[in-house]
Each structure stands twice: as C-alpha cells, then as structure tokens.
Amino acid sequence: MVKIELDIIALSHSVTQSHNYAVVLGEIEGNRRLPIVIGGFEAQAIAVAMEQMSPNRPLTHDLFKNTLEHFEIDLKEVVINNLLDGVFYAKLVCLKNGEEYEIDSRTSDAIAMAVRFDCPIYTYEFIMESAGVELDDESVETTGGEIVSEKPAKTTPGGYERMTEEALNKLLDDVLANEDYEKAAKIRDELLRRKGGE
C-alpha cells in the first residue's frame, strides 16, 4: 500500500467532545486534513514537544524516548495503519542494528513520539477517504474549537504583552515548575515574538 505523509497542522479543543482535544494532521502533498480526537494528557504531551519546552521532570513520552535512545533504537516512522469503529490504530517503526521492528501504539502516543524523534508520520488512502476532510484553504479553524498549538505557532498570547521581559521569564520559570505547559507555551510565544521584533 502507498503511504501518504502527514504533518501536524494544529492542536485544538475538540468541538464534539468538550473534555478532549483534536490533533489535525495534513497531507504534505495535498489539502486533506485528518482530525483525530485525543485526551488532554496526550494533547499536553504533543504540545510540550511541539513548543520545545523542557519540563523539570521527564514526561512519559520523554522517558520512553530516552530509553529507546539509551538502547540505540531509532524511531524511523509512525504509521496510522487502521481505522475501526471510529478508532485510529498506529504503529511505531523502529530500527536497531539494521533490523526493523513494529510496535503497536495508540495514535496519540505515536504522534507524541514522532514529534520527539522528528520522524515522519504516514497513513493510507483508505483512512484519508474514510476520515479525511478536504479544505479549500489553509485554515485550521474549520476543525472548530480554540487552537491550543499550531505548527508553526501563529497565535499571539493576550495579556502578556504589557509585562516586562524579566517578569515574563520569571513567570515562565514558575509555570514550568508547576507543570502548566499550556500557559508556558503562551509566555514563550510572547518572548519569541519580542525577539523577532514583531
């Protein structure tokens, strides 16, 4: 089967399930989007890696990445390989000493690992036909809900623009210590916006 490469377009609150999130994947060569509903913990794990934040203690996915690297196992790719009764299935394709191994995974965990290893994410045409959405433009708002994180980040946080850079850096340290990664991402975006001279 021919694989279709995907990229993470956005992470947003799910419209259909209020306590969940949706990770929106988009075709590298095409305009179809694949929204996948995930839990809050998994959304946080993906967002932390997308925003390149360094938690005080490793999250579960960071621990798994460190373990794989310690044993010289490389994550080659992630494949979303099935869709049954609305549930996506995925596998991690790993390499060790030239041998390829496949490990079953929840899709949200596989995506969180792909972001950490900076490896490609693939799926198949039958999944895109079943669950994909075709868009006429690049807007991710069509998935609905508040956007938590995008790649690249395009949102400018409100309320932080009046704070000094020193105050923002102190606040960033505090929220990271409390493991509030969503707020940390917004503060970090404001600091990056200032460095970019926008």
Query: pLDDT of 136-165, one tens digit each?
Result: 654 444 334 455 555 543 333 345 676 778
pLDDT exceeds 70 at position 123? yes
User: Whole domain around residue 107: which residue ranges?
Assistant: 3-155
Question: What 3-state DSSP class applies to 89?
Answer: strand
- Give the domain CATH number at 93: 3.10.690.10
Residue 185's H or E segment, with its range, is helix 181-195
Neighbours of 39 (CB within 10 A): 15
Domains in the chain, number: 2
Kindly state the average pLDDT of the residues 87-106. Answer: 97
Kindly state the average pLDDT of the residues 22-41. Answer: 91
Q: Are residues 68 and 23 in the same domain?
A: yes
Task: State residue 124's pLDDT score.
Answer: 97
Q: Are residues 149 and 170 in the same domain?
A: no
pLDDT exceeds 50 at position 45? yes
Q: Are residues 87 and 184 in the same domain?
A: no
Which of 67, 128, 57, 125 lies closest to 92 in space, CA to CA? Answer: 67
Q: Are residues 148 and 166 in the same domain?
A: no
Q: Are residues 94 and 172 in the same domain?
A: no
Q: Are residues 150 and 86 in the same domain?
A: yes
Q: Are residues 116 and 184 in the same domain?
A: no
Q: Are residues 138 and 168 in the same domain?
A: no
Report which of residues 40 and 78 the model is more confident about: 78
% the chain with pLDDT above 70: 83
Task: State residue 197's pLDDT score.
Answer: 56
Task: State residue 134's pLDDT score.
Answer: 84
Q: Distance between CA 128 and CA 137 in Å, rounded?
A: 18
pLDDT, averaged across the chain: 83
Q: Are residues 107 and 182 in the same domain?
A: no
Q: Are residues 134 and 67 in the same domain?
A: yes
Q: Are residues 132 and 178 in the same domain?
A: no
Q: Are residues 21 and 81 in the same domain?
A: yes
